[in-house]
Every structure is written in structure tokens, then in C-alpha cells.
Amino acid sequence: MGSMADGDTWLPGWKAMIGYLEGRLLKKEQDRILLLVNHVGYEILVPAVVMETLSPKAIGDEISLYVYCYQTERQPKPVLIGFNLEAEKEFFQYFISVEAIGPLKAVKALSISVGDIAHAIESGDIKTLKRLSGIGDRTAHKIIASLQGKMNKFALIRHEKNGVPAPTDEDFIQMVMDVLVSQLGYKTTDSRQLIADAMQRNSAITTAEQLFDEIYRGQRQE
């Protein structure tokens, strides 16, 4: 069993069993929803930034969420936490690796977009991080010390509300394209443009990490 950052210990089973759910919305509360999936109702905690995107959804609407499952010796009842994008869930896993930030505290903290939080971490923006619920000066510094340099990908996350050719067919470029579209919420045409612009600015890029960094730098300059 692995150790959690807040001192809890994982119990076997649930963590690996539920990673994604699709179903019908049965109930919405301030910080959670009830989702009907194959005649089973799942109560799912939802960070404020995710709940905001669900506000147009009515009872009975179909929705889908990537799910992080939290269960420990002190929290034997499994807690499901939902996200719109796989990248948001991945960011959450980084975020809770910071000392003194457990999953339940992290859910309450995510009151602004993951992209904005990731950008604040990369730029050392303590003021923005302190806007997060439950995050004070000391914890904000810990977050930056632990995660700075790892957030460029997440700083690109975009929430879409409602004909440039791909620059090359190299594997790493296709991987970045897939991540931008399927995980970060970009349209295919926008992703192609971002990649083309990044490659034009820096033709020496040879890895996905370098390409993400260049795309991120370009976005910051706009």
C-alpha cells in the first residue's frame, strides 16, 4: 500500500476500479452531484470550477466525468471526485502530492480554472494561489516549490463552451495534438495552429515536452 501526502494509506480495490463515468444527472448540490450509471447512482464530489461548467445541465441530462477515487483507512467509504478533462484529473494528482494538501482539501481549493492555477505555479504567482480556498502563504510557497517546472501542459487547459495543415507527421507532434484535443479541450484546427506557430518560432524542437513549453510560451506572450 502506498502512502498519501497527508499521512493516509490507500486501501486496495476502488482506486483502480473507477476512472470514468457516463450517465444521467439525477441531482445537483453545491459541491456534488448524483449520477445514474447503469441503474446505479454514484455520488461524485465536484470542484467549484467543474461545477460551474455543469450549471447549464438540467436534471436528466447526460454527462460524463473523469473520476479520481479516494479511499483510506481513515476514510473507508470511497469518495469519487469528478473532472471534465483527463488533464484536470492528472493535475489534481500532482496537486495532492504537495505536502499538507489531501484530496478533500484540494477539491475545495479548485475554485478557479486549472489552467490559471498551473500558470500561477509556473510564474510563481503567490497572490493568485492564495485566492484558492484553504491555501495560505506557507502552502502557496510549498505548491510552487513542489510543482514549478511541471505545469506547462496544464497551463494550456482550455474549456470550450459551445484549415491549417499539420506541420509534420512526426510521432511527438501527433502526441501533442492528441493531448491538446482530447485532454486539454482545444479544437483540432486551433491545435494545429498552435503547433504550427510553435514550430515556426523554434524549428529545433524535437520532443513533446519542448513543444508544450513553446506553445505555453507563445500563449503567455499573447
CATH number of the domain that 96 lies in? 2.40.50.140
> Which of the four pLDDT bands, split at 50, 70 and 90, describes residue 199?
confident
- Whole-model pTM? 0.69
Please indicate, yes or no, whether residues 152 and 197 belong to a single structural domain of this protein: no
Cβ distance 175 to 161 under 8 Å?
A: no
Question: What distances in angstroms separate CA 210 from CA 2, 73, 107, 152, 193, one per listed residue?
Answer: 32, 41, 30, 10, 16
> Is residue 165, in this structure, part of any structural domain at all?
no
Structural domain range at position 211: 171-221
Model pLDDT, residue 163: 29
Please indicate, yes or no, whether residues 137 and 211 belong to a single structural domain of this protein: no
158, 190, 210 - which closes a domain: 158
Query: pLDDT by residue (tens digit) across 106-150?
Result: 999 999 889 889 989 988 999 999 999 999 999 999 999 999 988
> Is residue 96, in this structure, part of any structural domain at all?
yes
Domain tally, the chain: 2
Please indicate, yes or no, whether residues 54 and 115 belong to a single structural domain of this protein: yes
Please indicate, yes or no, whether residues 106 and 138 belong to a single structural domain of this protein: yes
> Which of the four pLDDT bands, split at 50, 70 and 90, describes residue 6?
very low
Please indicate, yes or no, whether residues 108 and 134 belong to a single structural domain of this protein: yes
> Is residue 164, in this structure, part of any structural domain at all?
no
State which amino acid sits at residue 5. Answer: A
Mean pLDDT (the chain) is 82
